Chain A
């Protein structure tokens, strides 16, 4: 049996799931990628047809399938509104794993996911080496989002307007943090995520400030690895499992009631994907991952449901703020009211809803790296909705979304600031 046949056979294991697609095409209404490209192969119905065709040996071009599978933000908008309830995201993740492995992961991705992100020490070291050198490479943009661009690195970074790396990452500021329980007795493991550790340090500090305000004890080890979502999206399950094992080791004997994260993508990965992928590790690891999953909470949910943070009446002359729903919170976990409650808890802000608030911003993690043109196009629609809302600040609950929103707003020269809901809340605690 040749290799392609073997790949087809493996894809046939998805047949039962794919058959559930009735080809109604409703995914076209919500898919951000289809909205930008207008190509049927970019929408779930088209991709499922192609996976199915390769499984049935009606398509003999795995490279083409890999390219099509990559043109997806994995935002799960399609799955959330799929009438027959096809498990689209699990199908896509598994198809990526099978097809990308068949073709071989690109060497750059292998280093990033398999080596760098799985080794917190090495990752942290390389990023700290990089941070001081940024001044030479990056040019500040004159914008309210405080982004920079890198003309010298256009070939790699394109025309992105991004936040510079923090001068000092979060873990270097705080070191290994393991506070004793305080008066209210609650202790959380704070998982800042890669972006919360290295880029949006102010956001993480805002979270820590709020936790401190509520007398919540914090466990934050320095050796946290990446949650694994970039590796999973790249079909690199080996890399993901390395990261997962590194993380399980850190949390194994630690004492905490909840893991809270300010990153929607990290939350959904830890909650939904760690137990699923830990099934490939030892039974002990699987039990641990399931236990952690149960304890994992988006930080807004923790603030609202556990600490009882409530909306307040806006003061006169309050600034208008709107909220962008990160896909990883709204589509799979249905978290919508808690982040709004946290944002509204600051009376200096008056809340206003934007149109299509739950439509994907177009970041999609590594999607942005490989399909920047589409990412920008999708982001522009989000930007238009933000600007139309008249808000001075757009809040969200995912640093990946923040990065994307800052990029599109900066490019348009809009005076709208991007903040995490926890930053708004922390401001109210001064």
Chain B
């Protein structure tokens, strides 16, 4: 339980305006985007400086108060839902300064609460490029992106958040400041703690600053949209493009259910009778882009594409991609509850995985719409249901269980980009091993002896 003395201390440290203790305020930090029950924290704090955040962590460590670190609260695996009503939520949204954008050395230094899209825009304004673009980028924070190793549409060619993390500063569970990595491309000073902190889901430390790699932007891009009568043809085409040794910067996939619903919402003029469409973008040097677009078109046609569209102008192209970005939210209109999964398989297994998803959905009598990052094997089978209908929700849970079994059998993974949190922790051992779980627990016990940092997430420690 949180003592009044502790509340007073924290209010004095951070200023009253940065501490929320009322029931109503606390209830709005009890959830994130995952379909999981809310847990109301005991207090919510907004450190105005990273130093003060460190002092908070120290105080909470000394008093033995569990902590959940939260950015925008958009993650899909429950990582920012408090473990218990004793938790304090440390919200990083006020730590939102971009400290440096270095155009000569191609890096930027950010505080954890910087919004991803604002960061990408600031970088673009300086003529550089920060590629990771998770679906929640207009609100998600850089700290959250690191803690979840956020992906996005450009994973195939440009990688994900972990590929851009050069250096990190964080507070460990005791409130001590830890630094690792640097502003240099090469750095082998001590353990690579960037690797430890990326996708650590708030369990190993409280991120206070990060050095992010930037890259020169591509000079040219070309987008294509291919329409397929059958979902299997589209999946074969994806495998075909990769087999032709072309890495499009994005290679996205929407199934029919998704196409129709997205078109209803965006009026983007998508082919509503298509079994599937692929949205493809190649980028790079203009000559290379032209060659690759031509090669991609050939592969698409060889794999029974009914039509291949090339957007006429930037506006049409933007509309096309906006349609893809809206896929998940739009599916959510169909039914009250949306269970968004991110099972990922090696690229060559995409056809098998898609087939299995549809069979599993049919067998369990549940609705599913699938879209996703087909180029990197990361699919988003999205189950549409009403959580208030207990029987239906149980069938959805069954379907998800079966789907993970298939993903693992195909040498894939439970989660490509959403994380484990509490939503998927029960399946973790199935994909890894009992030893992996124990190793992770020992790691956590050593670094967090009082079990205070998101203790029930990923591998529970207690």
Residues of A within 8 A of B (CB): 16, 19-20, 22-26, 28-29, 38-41, 45-46, 49-50, 53, 58-59, 61, 64-65, 67-68, 83-85
Q: A50-B24, A50-B28, A84-B329 are in contact. List 20 more A-B contacts (CB 8 A).
A: A22-B329, A23-B33, A24-B329, A24-B332, A25-B33, A26-B139, A28-B139, A29-B138, A38-B93, A38-B94, A39-B25, A40-B29, A49-B28, A61-B23, A64-B22, A65-B24, A83-B328, A83-B329, A84-B330, A85-B265
Q: How far is the CA of A157 from the CA of B308 in the complex (A)?
A: 62
Known: A19-B337, A40-B73. A25 touches B139 (CB 8 A): yes
Which residues of the partner chain B approach A20 to less than 8 Å between Cβ atoms? Answer: 332-333, 336
In the complex, residue of chain B having the shortest beta-carbon distance to the beta carbon of A67: B24
Q: Is the CB of B338 closer than 8 A to any CB of chain A?
A: yes
Q: Is the CB of B174 closer than 8 A to any CB of chain A?
A: no
CB contacts under 8 Å to A, within B149-192, are none
Residues of B within 8 A of A (CB): 20, 22-25, 27-33, 38, 46, 72-74, 93-94, 117, 136, 138-139, 265, 326, 328-330, 332-333, 336-338, 386, 388
- Number of residue pairs spanning A and B whose beta carbons lie under 8 angstroms apart: 88
Task: List 16 A-B pairs, Cβ < 8 Å.
Answer: A22-B332, A22-B337, A25-B74, A28-B72, A38-B94, A39-B25, A40-B28, A41-B28, A49-B38, A50-B27, A59-B24, A61-B23, A68-B24, A83-B265, A83-B332, A84-B338
Which residues of the partner chain B approach A25 to less than 8 Å between Cβ atoms? Answer: 33, 72-74, 136, 139
**B33-A24 in contact (CB<8A):** yes
**A84-B333 in contact (CB<8A):** yes
**B28-A46 in contact (CB<8A):** yes
B261 to chain A, nearest CB (A): 11
**B27-A19 in contact (CB<8A):** no
Q: How far is the CA of A59 from the CA of B332 in the complex (A)?
A: 27
**A19-B28 in contact (CB<8A):** no
The list of the 5 closest CB pairs from A to B, nearest first, reads A83-B329, A46-B28, A84-B332, A64-B24, A40-B28
B405 to chain A, nearest CB (A): 26
In the complex, residue of chain B having the shortest beta-carbon distance to the beta carbon of A85: B333
**B25-A41 in contact (CB<8A):** yes
Which residues of the partner chain B approach A19 to less than 8 Å between Cβ atoms? Answer: 336-337, 386, 388
A49 to chain B, nearest CB (A): 6
Of the residues A45, A46, A64, A83, contact of B330 by C-beta under 8 Å: A83
**B31-A59 in contact (CB<8A):** no
Which residues of the partner chain A approach B326 to less than 8 Å between Cβ atoms? Answer: 83
Which residues of the partner chain A approach B332 to less than 8 Å between Cβ atoms? Answer: 20, 22, 24, 83-84
A308 to chain B, nearest CB (A): 27
Q: How far is the CA of A83 from the CA of B334 in the complex (A)?
A: 11
Which residues of the partner chain B approach A46 to less than 8 Å between Cβ atoms? Answer: 28
Q: How far is the CA of A64 from the CA of B26 in the complex (A)?
A: 12
B150 to chain A, nearest CB (A): 14
Which residues of the partner chain A approach B265 to less than 8 Å between Cβ atoms? Answer: 83, 85
In the complex, residue of chain B having the shortest beta-carbon distance to the beta carbon of A19: B336
**B31-A49 in contact (CB<8A):** yes
**B338-A22 in contact (CB<8A):** yes
Q: How far is the CA of A421 from the CA of B329 in the complex (A)?
A: 36
Known: A26-B329, A28-B139. A53 touches B27 (CB 8 A): yes
Output the residue of B27, B38, B73 with the most chain A CB within 10 A: B27
B145 to chain A, nearest CB (A): 14
Which residues of the partner chain B approach A40 to less than 8 Å between Cβ atoms? Answer: 25, 28-29, 73
Output the residue of B28, B29, B33, B117 with the most chain A CB within 10 A: B28
Q: How far is the CA of A23 from the CA of B37 in the complex (A)?
A: 12
B75 to chain A, nearest CB (A): 10
In the complex, residue of chain B having the shortest beta-carbon distance to the beta carbon of A41: B28
Known: A19-B388, A38-B46, A85-B265. A61 touches B24 (CB 8 A): yes
**A59-B27 in contact (CB<8A):** yes
In the complex, residue of chain B having the shortest beta-carbon distance to the beta carbon of A83: B329
Which residues of the partner chain A approach B139 to less than 8 Å between Cβ atoms? Answer: 25-26, 28-29
In the complex, residue of chain B having the shortest beta-carbon distance to the beta carbon of A42: B28
Q: How far is the CA of A295 from the CA of B15 in the complex (A)?
A: 54
A45 to chain B, nearest CB (A): 8
B230 to chain A, nearest CB (A): 28
Known: A40-B29, A49-B31. A24 touches B24 (CB 8 A): no
Q: How far is the CA of A11 from the CA of B268 in the complex (A)?
A: 37
Which residues of the partner chain A approach B22 to less than 8 Å between Cβ atoms? Answer: 61, 64
In the complex, residue of chain B having the shortest beta-carbon distance to the beta carbon of A29: B138
Q: How far is the CA of A229 from the CA of B38 in the complex (A)?
A: 35
Which residues of the partner chain A approach B29 to less than 8 Å between Cβ atoms? Answer: 40
Q: How far is the CA of A45 from the CA of B31 in the complex (A)?
A: 10
A348 to chain B, nearest CB (A): 31
Q: How far is the CA of A49 from the CA of B25 in the complex (A)?
A: 11
In the complex, residue of chain A having the shortest beta-carbon distance to the beta carbon of B76: A24
**B136-A58 in contact (CB<8A):** no
Output the residue of A23, A45, A67 with the most chain B CB within 10 A: A23
B248 to chain A, nearest CB (A): 26
In the complex, residue of chain A having the shortest beta-carbon distance to the beta carbon of B118: A29
In the complex, residue of chain A having the shortest beta-carbon distance to the beta carbon of B93: A38
In the complex, residue of chain B having the shortest beta-carbon distance to the beta carbon of A65: B24
Which residues of the partner chain A approach B74 to less than 8 Å between Cβ atoms? Answer: 24-25
A236 to chain B, nearest CB (A): 23
Which residues of the partner chain A approach B30 to less than 8 Å between Cβ atoms? Answer: 49
Which residues of the partner chain A approach B23 to less than 8 Å between Cβ atoms? Answer: 59, 61, 64
Which residues of the partner chain B approach A41 to less than 8 Å between Cβ atoms? Answer: 24-25, 28
In the complex, residue of chain A having the shortest beta-carbon distance to the beta carbon of B117: A29
A101 to chain B, nearest CB (A): 19
Q: How far is the CA of A20 from the CA of B336 in the complex (A)?
A: 5
Q: How far is the CA of A20 from the CA of B330 in the complex (A)?
A: 11
In the complex, residue of chain B having the shortest beta-carbon distance to the beta carbon of A25: B74
In the complex, residue of chain A having the shortest beta-carbon distance to the beta carbon of B140: A25
Which residues of the partner chain B approach A29 to less than 8 Å between Cβ atoms? Answer: 117, 138-139
Output the residue of A20, A24, A38, A61 with the most chain B CB within 10 A: A24
Which residues of the partner chain A approach B336 to less than 8 Å between Cβ atoms? Answer: 16, 19-20
Which residues of the partner chain A approach B136 to less than 8 Å between Cβ atoms? Answer: 24-26
**A22-B28 in contact (CB<8A):** no
In the complex, residue of chain B having the shortest beta-carbon distance to the beta carbon of A18: B336
B24 to chain A, nearest CB (A): 4
Which residues of the partner chain B approach A16 to less than 8 Å between Cβ atoms? Answer: 336
B118 to chain A, nearest CB (A): 10
Q: How far is the CA of A101 from the CA of B25 in the complex (A)?
A: 22
In the complex, residue of chain B having the shortest beta-carbon distance to the beta carbon of A54: B24
In the complex, residue of chain B having the shortest beta-carbon distance to the beta carbon of A47: B28
In the complex, residue of chain A having the shortest beta-carbon distance to the beta carbon of B89: A40
**B28-A26 in contact (CB<8A):** no
A218 to chain B, nearest CB (A): 37
Q: How far is the CA of A22 from the CA of B32 in the complex (A)?
A: 9
Which residues of the partner chain B approach A68 to less than 8 Å between Cβ atoms? Answer: 24
Which residues of the partner chain B approach A38 to less than 8 Å between Cβ atoms? Answer: 46, 93-94
Q: How far is the CA of A23 from the CA of B136 in the complex (A)?
A: 11
Q: How far is the CA of A45 from the CA of B326 in the complex (A)?
A: 18
Which residues of the partner chain B approach A26 to less than 8 Å between Cβ atoms? Answer: 136, 138-139, 329
**A23-B31 in contact (CB<8A):** yes
Which residues of the partner chain B approach A65 to less than 8 Å between Cβ atoms? Answer: 24
